[in-house]
Amino acid sequence: MNIRNIWLAATIIIGLTLFSGSTSLAQQDELTGPEFAKVEIAGAEPAKDVITDPEFPKGIWNINTNAYRGLLNIQSINQSEFTGTIQITGGDIQEIFGIWDDNAKRIAFVHIGDAQDKSKAEIYTGYWFREGSTDFLTGYFEAFIGTGGTAQRPVYGWYAYKSV
């Protein structure tokens, strides 16, 4: 077992420990099964191939943010900067913007939950890796008062995946 697989296992264990949502694992599997993956974000545009790195995490991903499921769409790429959207199941499509560090395979982006209420912003950091024919992003996000974060618990886990 190499260091990448050990890191992956530890990240998944930590992420599962951090998730405090009300859905059971069986319900979560139903939400991430093949039918859920076919959901499309209305008005989403396919990613543009501006960057030359074939491993840049563009496209539509299934995402789990502290047990809230949805779709992450990394759309527009301009060198190391990108824009896109996120839609949590049952919610509106919301904009994201961020940066990609190709050397570290690190993604960082801001999810503005409500343009009128800046306390609803969330800041995501994650790392990309490929296991077999699936790409993964996994990491943490910082939430503020408007999104349920507290002084005692402002950091939550997230992960996303897509087939390649």
Residue 85 sits in a domain whose CATH number is 2.40.128.30
pLDDT of 46 strictly over 60: no
pLDDT of 96 strictly over 60: yes
**Domain membership of residue 40 as a residue range:** 3-163
Local confidence band at 1 (pLDDT 50, 70, 90 cut-offs): very low
Report the predicted TM-score, pTM, of the whole model to 2 decimal places.
0.66
Q: Where are the alpha helices (DSSP H) in the chain?
A: 3-18, 25-32, 34-37
Domain count, the chain: 1
Token pair, residue 113, equals 């939950």
